[in-house]
Protein backbone atom coordinates (compact mmCIF):
# COMPACT_ATOMS: atom_id res chain seq x y z
CA UNK A 1 0.00 0.00 0.00
CA UNK A 2 1.48 3.27 -1.08
CA UNK A 3 1.29 6.40 1.05
CA UNK A 4 1.09 9.85 -0.41
CA UNK A 5 2.25 13.13 0.97
CA UNK A 6 0.33 16.29 0.31
CA UNK A 7 2.55 19.32 -0.08
CA UNK A 8 1.36 22.73 1.01
CA UNK A 9 0.82 25.58 -1.43
CA UNK A 10 4.07 26.54 -3.12
CA UNK A 11 6.04 23.63 -1.66
CA UNK A 12 8.92 22.26 -3.69
CA UNK A 13 8.84 18.47 -4.11
CA UNK A 14 11.88 16.67 -2.76
CA UNK A 15 13.14 19.58 -0.71
CA UNK A 16 11.06 19.26 2.45
CA UNK A 17 10.60 23.02 2.41
CA UNK A 18 7.39 24.98 2.34
CA UNK A 19 8.11 28.46 0.99
CA UNK A 20 4.80 29.74 2.34
CA UNK A 21 6.11 29.20 5.86
CA UNK A 22 8.94 31.66 5.42
CA UNK A 23 7.75 33.80 2.55
CA UNK A 24 4.63 35.35 4.02
CA UNK A 25 4.19 39.08 4.04
CA UNK A 26 4.26 38.99 7.84
CA UNK A 27 7.64 37.25 7.94
CA UNK A 28 9.04 39.57 5.29
CA UNK A 29 7.81 42.57 7.26
CA UNK A 30 9.56 41.30 10.38
CA UNK A 31 12.81 40.80 8.48
CA UNK A 32 12.53 44.30 7.00
CA UNK A 33 12.64 45.63 10.56
CA UNK A 34 16.20 44.31 10.76
CA UNK A 35 17.16 46.24 7.64
CA UNK A 36 15.79 49.47 9.12
CA UNK A 37 16.94 49.12 12.74
CA UNK A 38 20.61 50.02 12.29
CA UNK A 39 20.26 53.04 10.00
CA UNK A 40 17.55 54.53 12.23
CA UNK A 41 19.56 53.95 15.42
CA UNK A 42 22.81 55.31 14.01
CA UNK A 43 21.18 58.36 12.41
CA UNK A 44 19.48 59.30 15.68
CA UNK A 45 22.61 58.70 17.78
CA UNK A 46 24.96 60.66 15.50
CA UNK A 47 22.48 63.53 15.15
CA UNK A 48 22.20 63.81 18.91
CA UNK A 49 25.93 63.50 19.45
CA UNK A 50 26.65 66.25 16.97
CA UNK A 51 24.00 68.66 18.27
CA UNK A 52 23.80 68.29 22.04
CA UNK A 53 25.89 70.76 24.01
CA UNK A 54 28.79 69.23 25.89
CA UNK A 55 28.73 65.85 24.15
CA UNK A 56 31.93 64.80 22.39
CA UNK A 57 31.48 62.13 19.73
CA UNK A 58 35.15 61.10 19.93
CA UNK A 59 35.28 60.78 23.71
CA UNK A 60 31.81 60.12 25.17
CA UNK A 61 29.81 56.91 25.19
CA UNK A 62 26.52 57.07 23.31
CA UNK A 63 24.72 55.85 26.45
CA UNK A 64 25.31 59.26 28.04
CA UNK A 65 22.85 60.74 25.56
CA UNK A 66 20.07 59.17 27.64
CA UNK A 67 20.83 61.69 30.41
CA UNK A 68 19.65 65.28 30.63
CA UNK A 69 16.45 66.99 29.54
CA UNK A 70 16.68 65.54 26.03
CA UNK A 71 17.65 62.11 27.25
CA UNK A 72 14.23 60.73 26.32
CA UNK A 73 15.32 60.81 22.66
CA UNK A 74 18.13 58.30 23.17
CA UNK A 75 15.97 56.25 25.54
CA UNK A 76 13.39 55.96 22.76
CA UNK A 77 16.20 55.21 20.30
CA UNK A 78 17.42 52.29 22.40
CA UNK A 79 13.92 50.88 22.86
CA UNK A 80 12.89 51.29 19.21
CA UNK A 81 16.12 49.69 17.96
CA UNK A 82 15.62 46.82 20.39
CA UNK A 83 12.01 46.29 19.32
CA UNK A 84 12.99 46.27 15.64
CA UNK A 85 15.77 43.78 16.39
CA UNK A 86 13.33 41.51 18.22
CA UNK A 87 11.00 41.67 15.23
CA UNK A 88 13.86 40.75 12.90
CA UNK A 89 14.77 37.79 15.12
CA UNK A 90 11.17 36.58 14.98
CA UNK A 91 11.22 36.77 11.20
CA UNK A 92 14.60 35.08 10.95
CA UNK A 93 13.62 32.04 13.02
CA UNK A 94 11.35 30.32 10.42
CA UNK A 95 13.86 31.08 7.66
CA UNK A 96 16.67 29.42 9.62
CA UNK A 97 14.37 26.50 10.47
CA UNK A 98 13.62 25.94 6.77
CA UNK A 99 17.35 25.78 6.05
CA UNK A 100 18.04 23.35 8.88
CA UNK A 101 19.90 26.01 10.84
CA UNK A 102 20.19 26.27 14.59
CA UNK A 103 17.46 28.32 16.27
CA UNK A 104 20.17 29.91 18.39
CA UNK A 105 21.01 32.38 15.65
CA UNK A 106 17.59 33.99 16.03
CA UNK A 107 17.57 33.56 19.80
CA UNK A 108 20.89 35.34 20.23
CA UNK A 109 19.77 38.16 17.96
CA UNK A 110 16.65 38.46 20.12
CA UNK A 111 18.95 38.63 23.15
CA UNK A 112 20.66 41.64 21.61
CA UNK A 113 17.26 43.28 21.11
CA UNK A 114 16.29 42.66 24.74
CA UNK A 115 19.62 44.13 25.85
CA UNK A 116 18.96 47.31 23.88
CA UNK A 117 15.50 47.72 25.37
CA UNK A 118 16.83 47.19 28.89
CA UNK A 119 19.66 49.66 28.21
CA UNK A 120 17.00 52.23 27.35
CA UNK A 121 14.90 51.52 30.42
CA UNK A 122 17.89 51.71 32.80
CA UNK A 123 19.84 54.92 32.15
CA UNK A 124 23.61 55.20 32.31
CA UNK A 125 25.06 57.47 34.99
CA UNK A 126 26.21 60.96 33.88
CA UNK A 127 29.97 61.22 33.41
CA UNK A 128 32.76 63.13 31.68
CA UNK A 129 31.05 66.48 32.16
CA UNK A 130 27.88 65.40 30.35
CA UNK A 131 25.18 66.54 30.66
CA UNK A 132 26.54 70.05 31.36
CA UNK A 133 27.04 70.53 35.08
CA UNK A 134 28.27 66.96 35.61
CA UNK A 135 31.78 66.75 37.14
CA UNK A 136 34.59 65.84 34.74
CA UNK A 137 35.83 62.26 34.67
CA UNK A 138 34.13 58.97 35.38
CA UNK A 139 31.36 58.73 37.95
CA UNK A 140 32.80 57.99 41.41
CA UNK A 141 29.72 56.03 42.44
CA UNK A 142 27.23 54.02 40.40
CA UNK A 143 23.47 54.05 40.75
CA UNK A 144 21.39 50.88 40.58
CA UNK A 145 20.10 51.85 37.13
CA UNK A 146 23.63 52.61 35.95
CA UNK A 147 24.75 49.11 36.98
CA UNK A 148 21.76 47.51 35.24
CA UNK A 149 22.44 49.58 32.12
CA UNK A 150 26.00 48.26 31.88
CA UNK A 151 24.88 44.69 32.58
CA UNK A 152 22.10 44.81 29.98
CA UNK A 153 24.26 46.41 27.30
CA UNK A 154 27.12 43.99 27.95
CA UNK A 155 24.84 40.95 27.76
CA UNK A 156 23.30 42.25 24.55
CA UNK A 157 26.69 42.79 22.94
CA UNK A 158 27.79 39.25 23.86
CA UNK A 159 24.60 37.90 22.26
CA UNK A 160 25.30 39.82 19.04
CA UNK A 161 28.87 38.56 18.87
CA UNK A 162 27.73 34.98 19.44
CA UNK A 163 25.00 35.37 16.79
CA UNK A 164 27.63 36.31 14.21
CA UNK A 165 29.52 33.06 14.82
CA UNK A 166 26.40 30.88 15.00
CA UNK A 167 25.17 32.14 11.62
CA UNK A 168 28.71 31.86 10.22
CA UNK A 169 28.47 28.14 10.95
CA UNK A 170 25.20 27.89 9.01
CA UNK A 171 26.62 29.82 6.06
CA UNK A 172 29.67 27.55 6.05
CA UNK A 173 27.50 24.41 6.11
CA UNK A 174 25.51 25.79 3.17
CA UNK A 175 28.69 26.39 1.18
CA UNK A 176 28.44 30.19 1.41
CA UNK A 177 32.03 30.78 2.40
CA UNK A 178 32.08 34.53 1.83
CA UNK A 179 29.09 35.05 4.10
CA UNK A 180 30.64 32.74 6.68
CA UNK A 181 33.89 34.71 6.60
CA UNK A 182 32.04 38.03 6.70
CA UNK A 183 30.05 36.94 9.74
CA UNK A 184 33.15 35.75 11.60
CA UNK A 185 35.06 38.93 10.80
CA UNK A 186 32.10 41.07 11.93
CA UNK A 187 31.88 39.16 15.19
CA UNK A 188 35.63 39.44 15.79
CA UNK A 189 35.73 43.17 15.05
CA UNK A 190 32.75 43.85 17.29
CA UNK A 191 34.41 41.84 20.06
CA UNK A 192 37.58 43.93 19.69
CA UNK A 193 35.62 47.18 19.90
CA UNK A 194 33.64 45.91 22.86
CA UNK A 195 36.76 44.92 24.77
CA UNK A 196 38.15 48.39 24.16
CA UNK A 197 34.99 49.96 25.57
CA UNK A 198 35.09 47.68 28.61
CA UNK A 199 38.52 49.07 29.43
CA UNK A 200 36.79 52.31 30.44
CA UNK A 201 39.12 54.50 28.40
CA UNK A 202 37.67 57.67 26.90
CA UNK A 203 40.51 58.11 24.41
CA UNK A 204 39.48 58.93 20.86
CA UNK A 205 40.93 55.68 19.56
CA UNK A 206 38.90 53.51 21.93
CA UNK A 207 35.63 55.46 21.67
CA UNK A 208 35.75 55.83 17.90
CA UNK A 209 36.77 52.19 17.65
CA UNK A 210 33.62 51.21 19.49
CA UNK A 211 31.53 53.50 17.30
CA UNK A 212 33.02 51.64 14.32
CA UNK A 213 32.18 48.29 15.96
CA UNK A 214 28.57 49.39 16.44
CA UNK A 215 28.36 50.37 12.77
CA UNK A 216 29.81 46.98 11.80
CA UNK A 217 27.30 45.17 14.01
CA UNK A 218 24.28 47.02 12.67
CA UNK A 219 25.49 46.60 9.09
CA UNK A 220 25.80 42.85 9.61
CA UNK A 221 22.25 42.65 10.98
CA UNK A 222 20.88 44.67 8.07
CA UNK A 223 22.68 42.59 5.45
CA UNK A 224 21.69 39.27 7.02
CA UNK A 225 18.07 40.43 7.20
CA UNK A 226 18.23 41.56 3.57
CA UNK A 227 19.72 38.21 2.54
CA UNK A 228 16.97 36.37 4.41
CA UNK A 229 14.46 38.28 2.30
CA UNK A 230 15.86 36.90 -0.96
CA UNK A 231 14.06 33.93 -2.61
CA UNK A 232 17.22 31.80 -2.88
CA UNK A 233 17.73 31.99 0.91
CA UNK A 234 14.08 31.49 1.82
CA UNK A 235 13.58 28.50 -0.49
CA UNK A 236 16.52 26.17 0.09
CA UNK A 237 17.07 23.18 -2.15
CA UNK A 238 18.32 19.73 -1.34
CA UNK A 239 18.04 17.40 1.61
CA UNK A 240 20.77 19.21 3.52
CA UNK A 241 18.32 22.04 4.04
CA UNK A 242 15.74 19.91 5.82
CA UNK A 243 15.45 20.59 9.54
CA UNK A 244 16.10 17.76 11.95
CA UNK A 245 13.45 16.42 14.30
CA UNK A 246 15.29 18.02 17.21
CA UNK A 247 15.26 21.44 15.50
CA UNK A 248 11.56 21.12 14.69
CA UNK A 249 10.86 20.45 18.33
CA UNK A 250 12.87 23.47 19.51
What DSSP string describes 71-114?
HHHHHHHHHHHHHHHHHHHHHHHHHHHHTT--THHHHHHHHHHH
- Phi, psi values for residue 211, rounded to 5°: -55, -45
Q: Looking at per-residue confidence, does 200 or 76 come out higher?
A: 76
Spatial distance between the Cα atoms of 246 and 51, rounded to a whole number of angstroms? 51
Q: Which residues contact 18 (CB under 8 A, 6 or more apart)?
A: 7, 8, 10, 11, 98
Which has the minimum average pLDDT: 2-6, 85-89, 202-206? 2-6
- In this prediction, residue 187 carries a pLDDT of 98
- In this prediction, residue 24 carries a pLDDT of 85
- Is the per-residue pLDDT at 126 higher than 80? yes
Torsion of CA 102, 89, 238, 230, to 10 degrees: -150
pLDDT band at 231 (very low <50, low <70, confident <90, very high): confident
Q: Are residues 10 and 20 in contact, defined by beta-carbon separation less than 8 angstroms?
A: yes
**Beta-bridge partner residues of 17:** 12
Spatial distance between the Cα atoms of 123 and 14, rounded to a whole number of angstroms? 52
Which has the minimum average pLDDT: 3-12, 86-95, 144-153, 209-218? 3-12
Q: What is the mean pLDDT of residues 212-233?
A: 93
Torsion of CA 232, 83, 196, 47, to 10 degrees: 100
**Beta-bridge partner residues of 148:** none
- Is the per-residue pLDDT at 240 higher than 60? no
Spatial distance between the Cα atoms of 182 and 185, rounded to a whole number of angstroms? 5
pLDDT band at 235 (very low <50, low <70, confident <90, very high): low
- Is the per-residue pLDDT at 116 higher than 50? yes
- In this prediction, residue 236 carries a pLDDT of 54
- Is the per-residue pLDDT at 239 higher than 80? no
- DSSP-H helix ranges across the chain: 19-22, 25-51, 71-98, 104-121, 144-173, 177-198, 204-228, 231-234, 245-249
- Ramachandran category for residue 137: left, alpha or beta (phi over 0 → left; psi -120 to 50 → alpha): left
Spatial distance between the Cα atoms of 213 and 220, rounded to a whole number of angstroms? 11
**Mean pLDDT score of the chain:** 86
- Is the per-residue pLDDT at 245 higher than 90? no
Closest CA to 8 of 231, 23, 18: 18
Helix (H, G, I), strand (E, B) or coil at 173: helix
Q: What is the mean pLDDT of residues 59-81?
A: 96
- Is the per-residue pLDDT at 219 higher than 90? yes
Closest CA to 15 of 240, 249, 247, 250: 240
Amino acid sequence: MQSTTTLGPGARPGTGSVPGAVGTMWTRGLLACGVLAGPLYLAAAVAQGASRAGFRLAHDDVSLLADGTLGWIQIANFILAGALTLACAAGLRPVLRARGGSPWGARLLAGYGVGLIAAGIFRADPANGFPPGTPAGKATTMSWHGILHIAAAGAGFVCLIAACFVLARLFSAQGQRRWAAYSRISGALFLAGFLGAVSGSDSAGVVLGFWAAVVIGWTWIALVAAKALTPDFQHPAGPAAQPSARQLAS
